[in-house]
Structure formats: structure tokens, C-alpha cells
Amino acid sequence: MWQIVHKLGSPKWFYRVSGPWLPWLWSLSVVLLVIGTVWGLAFAPADYQQGDSFRIIYVHVPAAILAQSCFALLAICAVIFLVWRIKLADMAATVAAPFGAAMTFVALFTGSVWGIPTWGTWWVWDARLTSMLILLFLYLGIIALRGAFTSRDSGSRAASILALVGVINLPIIKYSVNWWNTLHQPATFSLTRQPAMPAEMWLPLLVMVLGFYMFFAATVTFRTRNEILRRESRTRWVRELAEKTH
Amino acid sequence: MSADRLPEASSFNTSAAPLRYAFLATIRRDLTLKLRRRSELANPLVFFALIITLFPLGITPRQEVLRELAPGLLWVSALLAVLLSLDGLFRDDFEDGTLEQLLLSPQPSSLLVLAKITAHWLTTGLPLAFMAPLLGLMLALPATSFPALCATLALGSASLSLIGAIGAALTVGLKRGGVLLSLLILPLYIPVLIFGAGAVKLAIDGAVVMPYLALLGALLAAGLALAPWAATAALRLSVNG
């Protein structure tokens, strides 16, 4: 059992195995994103209240879901890195943090653009907007803390501790902010109940969410591979690889 | 700790001083050090008063507006004052090597770290809580809300010290950790701010504040259980790195 875990945690093994996945991940994400975008923007029916402006949901909701999933990934990587010292987990966390921050920003930006036709203002101090903003600050804190250390290992451990502290605090922040003020509509997707919109509206959204996840997987895998090459640039297998490609 | 209350020398030799003694000795040491530098002790309080002075100048001196804003202003200013004092929580001990001794000592280090945090709260958060009604008076807060103001600040600032200790421990090894510290810690302070300021607002309206106090207590309980542990892990990393 432990042998398998250590094999899975070996950067060299991951580099070798993930290579063939990449084209599949990229093409799957492009196909899903194209289908979802065209379906959502051109074929899905317009909303009876909001008209065409609701179509921004096809970017807004997937980005918001990804922003939160990415933080969960950070926390899982942090546990794996702190407990078992598996470097691969930290490499994934290093590259996933900027991605999560970007998704949070996209969710905030699209939400604010959407706010103009629906609420008549760019920004309201609503609970879910505010907790997304706080999520963005948490991401920025983790990225900044990692960068502040001169030793990479210290930076990795500090960022991992902060990610864990953040993930424990995130639900508390979310609930306290909810208590404080709520204007936003409730979550679009839930596992336990029927979506409030018709199927021809939420199916393209589902495709978009899956597309975003595939894009996430592809980006993180691709950038983790780069990070592996960067950190292991002194090992023999990376040198041999570099000589082979030259 | 006075000499006559110390345990017999033999009990030191066995393995470790009892935890209770080590905990109290750490608090006592930190308090002594703080009390020897009184001006530093007063800095957060002066800062608190100064920030509160700036708000009427920047917004308006009208009493009804100030009364409306007072709970938030007092809480945000107190929060910033705590934040300002956090950088010194571990800094001196880190530089003169005391922190290494603390982490190497046979007692569980997270409890000794908790002792340091307690001393920090006793010298920062608690004085701020006692000073708040005076500044509240200047912001035209009704006197009926003073008990709630003191209670929420005393309870909440303990959580602020606990959460802040994690950030202070993470950044103590960095040369210029101050700005980074606020970036790390301020988002985590939001729940305390919401419940603290919310309770004072309720108190102004004459409503029951117990539910909010209970929530602040819950945050404190969670912080007491988890924060010293995380701060110790961060200190280990700062000392080794």
C-alpha cells in the first residue's frame, strides 16, 4: 500500500504518466466549453424576467464553483504535504492557487457585470459577493505568503498551514456573512433538489461546469509538469529528458 | 512566580515542571516583560483613541450619524489596534532565541504558546475593552450599550489574539512581515467583527445580545482548541526555516 502511495507521489512517475493524459484533457475541455458556450449563448431560451442578460450565468456559476473546488484542492494538497511530505502535492498546490484566485476574480467580475441589469448596481454588499471577495483575499494571502519565504520548503509549509486555517475558517466566514446580509439568489445547483430552471437552461450550464473542471484539470496537470521540471531540474532524469528533446 | 511557591527541586529533576507551573510562569514572564516597557503597552490604546478621533473629522461631527456608525467604528479600530500589536507577539522571543527554548521544553509547546497568547490578550485586548466605553461616549453611544461593548470586545479580542497568533507565527521569520501579516489575518477576523459589532448594534436598540455573545464564545472555544496548535506548527517552521 505504502509503495503505491510513494510511487504516486514521485514527480518522475507523475511526469511520465500524465504526459499522455494531457491531449485528452485539453481536447475534452475545449469540446465541452465550445458546446456549452454555443448552446448556452445561442440556443438556450431567454429568461422570462432577465431576458438575455441571464446568459452570463454560463460563465459566472462555473467560475464560482471552480473557485471553491480549487480551495478544497489546496486544502487536500496541504494535508498530504504536511502529513506525508509528498512534494508532488505541494507542486500541485503551488500551481492551483493562482488558478483559484483567477476563477474567484472571474466570478466576481461576471457577477458585478450581471449586477447592472438585474440589481442596477455594480456592487452590493451581499453575503455571497462578500464571501467570494474574502475568498479572493485568502487566495492572495496564500500566494503572497509562499512568495515571501526565501527557502522554498518553508514557503510551502507556511502556505499549507495557511490553506488549512483558511479552509476551517471558510464555512464560518460564509455563515457569518450570510447572517449579516443576503440578497443573492440561493445556489444554482444542489444534489438534493430539482434545479429551479428548465432543463434547456441548466443542461448547457452543466456542460459548462464540466468543461471548466476539465480545463482546471488540464491546466493544473500541465503547470504541475512544468513545476516538476523546474524543481527537479538538477536530477538526472530531467537532464536526460532535456538532452533527448534537443 | 515567587520562590516559596515553586515545587521542590527534585520534581524538576525527574522530567519536567508540572504543566500548570510552566503555563503560569510563561504568562508571568510575558506580563513582566510587557510591564517593564510601559510605553509599548500603551501604544495600541493610543492608536485606538487616535483612529476613533479621525472618524468624526473625516465623516461628520453630527451625533446621530456617529451613533449609527459607532459600533462598527469602535470594533474596526480595536481590531486594527490588535493587529498592530501582533507583530511583537513572537518577534523579540524569536530574535533572542527564547522561542527555541520554549519549543524545546518538555511541556507541550502548544500550551506554552497559548500562555503567550493569553498574556498578549491580557495586555492588549482586555485594556482595549475597558477603554472602549470612554471612546463610545465620545461617539455619542448610549450608556446602555456599554456593557455589551465591553463584553463583546473582551470576548472577541481573545479570538483576535488567538487567530492573529497564527499569522504572527507564520511571518515572524520574515524581515518585513507586517503588511503580509495583515493580508493573512484580516480576512479571518471577519466573523468576529460581524458578531461583535452586531451585538453592540442590538444593545443600542435595547435588544437581547446573548445570542451574539454566545456565538462569540463559540468562536473563542473553536479558536482555543485549534489556534495554539496551528500557531505552534507555524512557529516550528519559522524557527527551523
Instruction: Classify A51 as helix, strand or coil.
Output: strand
State the pLDDT at residue A107: 94
Distance from CA of A175 to the nearest CA of B (A): 9
| ipTM computed for the complex | 0.84
Yes or no, beta carbons of B180 and A137 under 8 Å apart: no
Distance from CA of A137 to the nearest CA of B (A): 7
Residues pairing with A47 in the sheet: A51
pLDDT digits (tens, 9 = 90+) for A77-126: 999 999 988 889 999 999 999 999 999 999 999 988 888 888 888 888 87
Distance from CA of B124 to the nearest CA of A (A): 23
- Indicate the residue of B173, B187, B194 with minimum beta-carbon distance to A137: B187
Q: What is the mean pLDDT of residues B64-87?
A: 93
A206 shares contact with chain B (CB less than 8 Å): no
A162 shares contact with chain B (CB less than 8 Å): yes
CA-based angle B60:B64:B69, to the nearest 5? 70
Yes or no, beta carbons of A176 and B190 under 8 Å apart: yes
State the pLDDT at residue A174: 82
Distance from CA of B38 to the nearest CA of A (A): 32
State the pLDDT at residue B1: 42
Please say if the pLDDT value at position A230 is more than 80: yes
Distance from CA of B5 to the nearest CA of A (A): 39
Q: Which residues contact A171 (CB under 8 A, 6 or more apart)?
A: none
pLDDT: is B73 or B18 the higher one? B73
Residues pairing with A51 in the sheet: A47
pTM (2 d.p.): 0.87
Integer Cα distance of B30 and B26 in angstroms: 6
Q: Choose the weakest-confidence range: A39-43, A157-161, B23-27, B218-222.
A: A39-43
Please say if the pLDDT value at position B14 is more than 50: no
Q: Choose the weakest-confidence range: A165-179, A187-201, B21-35.
A: A187-201
B49 shares contact with chain A (CB less than 8 Å): no
Please say whether the structural domain A20-188+204-219 has been given the CATH code 1.20.120: yes
pLDDT digits (tens, 9 = 90+) for B173-199: 888 778 899 999 999 999 999 999 999
Yes or no, beta carbons of A154 and B188 under 8 Å apart: no
CA-based angle A212:A217:A221, to the nearest 5? 145
A154 shares contact with chain B (CB less than 8 Å): yes
B230 shares contact with chain A (CB less than 8 Å): yes
B184 shares contact with chain A (CB less than 8 Å): yes
State the pLDDT at residue A182: 55
Yes or no, beta carbons of B237 and A161 under 8 Å apart: yes
CA distances to A170, B111, B165, B223 from B229, in Å: 18, 8, 10, 10
pLDDT digits (tens, 9 = 90+) for B87-123: 889 998 999 999 999 999 888 999 999 999 999 999 9
Distance from CA of B198 to the nearest CA of A (A): 8
Q: Which residues contact A224 (CB under 8 A, 6 or more apart)?
A: A14, A18, A88, A91, A92, A95
Cite the DSSP H helix spans in A39-86.
Answer: 57-84
Integer Cα distance of B177 and B166 in angstroms: 13
Nearest one of B238, B234, B237, B232 to B102, comparing CA atoms: B232
- Indicate the residue of A144, A169, A172 with minimum beta-carbon distance to B183: A144
**For an interface test with A, which of B159, B237, B239, B240 has the most A Cβ atoms less than 10 Å from its Cβ?**
B237
A149 shares contact with chain B (CB less than 8 Å): yes
CB A152: neighbour CB atoms within 10 A?
14
A222 shares contact with chain B (CB less than 8 Å): no
pLDDT band at A237 (very low <50, low <70, confident <90, very high): confident
Secondary structure (DSSP) of B27-80: HHHHHHHHHHSHHHHHHHHHHHHHHHHHHHHHS---HHHHHHHHHHHHHHHHHH
B1 shares contact with chain A (CB less than 8 Å): no
**For an interface test with A, which of B188, B194, B216 has the most A Cβ atoms less than 10 Å from its Cβ?**
B188
Yes or no, beta carbons of B191 and A173 under 8 Å apart: yes
- In this structure, which amino acid lies at residue A109? F
Yes or no, beta carbons of B241 and A148 under 8 Å apart: no
Domain boundaries, chain B: 9-240
Please say if the pLDDT value at position B157 is more than 60: yes
